[in-house]
Structure 1
Amino acid sequence: MTFNRIQFQKGLSIPAFLSRYGSEAQCVEALMQARWPNGFVCPQCGHTHASRFERGHQQLWQCTRCRVQTSLTAGTPMADTKLSLQVWWLAIYLVSQAKNGIAALELARQLGVCYRTAWRIKHKVMAAMADHEQSRRLEGEVQIDDAYLGGERAGGPGEPQWRNKVPFIAAVSLQHGRPQYLRLDVVSSFRRSVVHTWAQQALAPGTHVVSDGLTAFTGVGWAGLTHDAIVTGGGRKGAQQPRLRWINTILGNLKTALSGTHHAVNFAKYGARYLHAHAYRFNRRFDLAAMVPRLASAFASAGRRTERQLRTPS
């Protein structure tokens, strides 16, 4: 068996995680570094000096210029939380280190919270992951393919033939013939105009695209990119096409991960969030140990998210 250095690399072990984030004081310092890496910055006026004091069990900073008071969690996804920062940091660890993600029910068991709280925490973390992945543009040689999330046959007459079925485009850039970065983007349909718009946002100028013979993929040419369309004929033979090997492998792994970890997911509403979280982990697979502090930094700057925002289709 060929040695896969990614599979056997060291991640952030539980003892290592606890040594860094095992106390509330350590989590406070980690959040301060993530939110204010160069020292305090007033969210109101941008001033860099403040007095620090405690009110009850909460630490507050008061700007010496405008006198506005703020806390470490104000203006972040953790705003108004009643949970300790240790719980939030553990959630970031569990969501980021699990290769296939983690179900909200399992997260609830691990954190010692109710299911609804675990669901909110998980989706806030995944939303922060999505924010970073949406800005990534692939370049070089890129393999793309069309795929669907979910899909349940309708239960009665008069209903759509399929429910909870979400179309998306998968794209992976290659470096020295091996996968480098991944994008997974929900689209409204597989039309040329839709693929054209997607290519303008997801692919850098000069990218060379390789796809199967789906007519809609000619839309990448409208975006000024070179394109090789390979008529595969579908089925197992199409999946084994050498020039589309990596994208087919990635899609197979994605579907296995989602079906094996998550059950009864509303893909029509939250599918994009699950796809972006999977891409986030894939794109940082070479340095698992650094994923927690990086995600914590992204999470601290993600902005406050309300229940309504989390429930809004992504």
Structure 2
Amino acid sequence: MAQQEVMTLKRFQEKFHSDDACREHLFQMRWANGYSCPKCGHSTFYFLESRKLYQCMRCEHQASATAGTIMHKSHTPLLTWFWAIFLVAHDKRGVSAVFLARELEISYPTAWLMLHKIRKAMSDRDAHYQLAGLVELDDAFFGAPTEGGKRGRGTDQTPVLVGVSLNKQGAPQYVKMQVIPDVKGKTLVEFAKLHIEPGSTISSDAYRSYNALAEEFDHQPIKFNVKDNPDHLKWLHTMISNAKAFIGGTFHGLDSKHLQSYLNEFCFRTNRRQFGGQMFNRLLTACISTDTITYGDLTAKV
């Protein structure tokens, strides 16, 4: 994506002072080269002020600036949506539904749903990218263990597979995290095929399940030993530690049912950590590029 406008708090307040200003910004983002009817492609339209719709002068199809976005059919004002996206984009620690509800003076259920819609946009945006080159891969476990229960790979915590791609200097570039049902070879291969480019080299520990990766990738297992290999999977373990701090620090008592969406948020933020003040427009672009999700969809998930 090209460079985006840096959006400071002052600039945001000056630019987005009403729903109409937000709608005009969405129009410019969606039809940067001029309006094109989604149905027939005609470029001439007139605006239906009472319904906030753009009607094609050829086929009379009516289009909304929010159609096909996470904001579609939302009763929440556009300005509130823009404030929510701004607050989420500009706090690297993430924001909770309690915080959003208080700051935007909306109900907790509304804030909770808005945040999940934003996280869906983050997930859908990152789905376009794969890890490549040298990729560190390992499993981790999230959540509090049952008192007296096992730890490590025998725990009853939620297993998560983590992949981190490194650049030529050995520094981390991108990260992917996925909740998995188990740490079997088949599960690891499915993750790798989905999230790692063919031809990449995968570095892991010597746990037997990872041997299955050798059938599809250049796999380099190394038996972990703090004394002999102190830097093995160093960046991956750093990412895991950061993800746990991110989730534990902001989202207390997180339900494992929605763990994946919080991991998606962490990955989206981490993968764009170098963009700083550009995050608002980058996140807004993600939000207008993905379909919405309903409260029923979220509560129905298992």
TM-score normalised by L of structure 2: 0.88
Q: Which residue number corresponds to residue 284 of structure 1?
A: 272
- Residue 272 of structure 1 is matched in structure 2 by 260
Higher mean C-alpha deviation, range 190-199 or range 89-98? 89-98
Q: CA deviation at 1:153?
A: 2.3
- 1:48 deviates by 3.2
Aligned in 2, Cα 1:245/1:162: closer, same or farther, shift over 3 Å? closer
Residues in 2 aligned to 1:65 and 1:309: alpha-carbon distance in whole angstroms = 36
Runs of 5+ unmatched residues, structure 2: 1-5, 149-153
> What CA distance in whole angstroms lies between the structure 1 residues aligned with 2:115 and 2:144?
23
Aligned residue among 25, 40, 43 for 1:30: 25
Report the equivalent of 1:243: 232
Structure 1 pair 84/102, CA: closer, same or farther in 2 (3 Å)? same
Q: How many residues get paired?
A: 291
Three-state SS of the structure 1 residue aligned to 2:287 is helix
- Structure 2 match to 1:257: 246
Quote how far apart the aligned CAs of 1:154 are: 8.1
Percent identity over paired residues: 33
Deviation, structure 1 residue 68: 2.0
**Residue 144 of structure 1 pairs with residue 128 of structure 2:** no
Q: d(CA) in 2 for partners of 1:305 and 1:313?
A: 12
1:302 aligns with 2:290: yes
1:104 paired residue among 77, 97, 102: 97
How far apart in 2 are the matches of 1:79 and 1:287? 27
Larger deviation: 272-281 or 285-294? Answer: 285-294
Equivalences for 1:49-198 in 2 at 5 Å? 49-55=44-50, 58-153=51-146, 165-175=157-167, 176-198=169-191
Is the contact made by 1:151 and 1:162 (CA closer than 8 Å) also made in structure 2? Answer: no
**Post-superposition shift, 1:114?**
0.8
What is the rounded CA distance, in whole Å, between the counterparts of 1:251 and 1:137 in structure 2?
Answer: 18
- Pick aligned residue for 2:224 from 201, 226, 232: 232
Following superposition, the deviation at residue 111 of structure 1 comes to 1.3
Equivalent of residue 41 in structure 1, options 28, 36, 42: 36
Q: Which amino acid aligns with 2:49?
A: E
Secondary structure of 1:93's counterpart equals: helix
Please say which of residues 191-200 and 78-87 is displaced more in the overlay.
Answer: 78-87
In the aligned structure 2, how far is the partner of 1:194 from the partner of 1:309? Answer: 25
Map 1:201-212 onto structure 2 (within 5 A).
Answer: 201-212=194-205
Any idea what SS the aligned residue of 1:243 has? coil
Measure, in 2, the Cα distance between the counterparts of 1:46 and 1:275.
39
TM norm structure 1: 0.85
The structure where strand makes up a greater share of residues is 1
User: Would you say the 8 A contact 2:206–2:222 is kept in 1?
Assistant: yes
Paired letter, 1:260: G
Structure 1: unaligned runs, 5 residues or longer: 1-10, 156-160
Q: Does the aligned pair in 2 maintain the 1:31–1:296 contact within 8 Å?
A: no
1:65 to 1:183, Cα distance in 2 relative to 1, 3 A: same
Q: Which amino acid aligns with 1:139?
A: A
Q: CA deviation at 1:112?
A: 1.1
Contact 2:224 2:232 in 1 (8 A): no
**What do residues 19-64 of structure 1 show as CA deviations (whole Å, max 9, x unaligned)?**
3334433312221123223332333344333221211xx4211122
Question: Judging changes above 3 Å, is the alpha-carbon distance between structure 1 residues 216 and 22 closer, same or farther for their aligned structure 2 residues?
Answer: farther
The CA RMSD over aligned residues, in Å, is 2.4
Task: Give the secondary-structure state (helix, strand or coil) at the position aligned to 1:205.
Answer: coil
Alignment check: 8 A CA contact 2:117 2:292 kept? no
CA deviation string 1:211-260 (max 9, x = no partner):
1122222222122x112212115xxx38x831311111111111111111
Q: Distance in 2 between matches of 1:22 and 1:221?
A: 56
SS of the residue corresponding to residue 136 of structure 2 reads: strand
- 1:278 Cα shift? 0.6
| Counterparts in 2 of 1:38 and 1:311: CA distance versus 1, 3 Å | farther
Amino acid aligned to 1:254? A
Query: Structure 1 pair 162/215, CA: closer, same or farther in 2 (3 Å)?
Result: closer
Once the 2 structures are TM-superposed, how far is the Cα of residue 12 of structure 1 from its aligned partner?
A: 4.3
**Counterpart Cα distance in 2 of 1:82 and 1:24:** 12
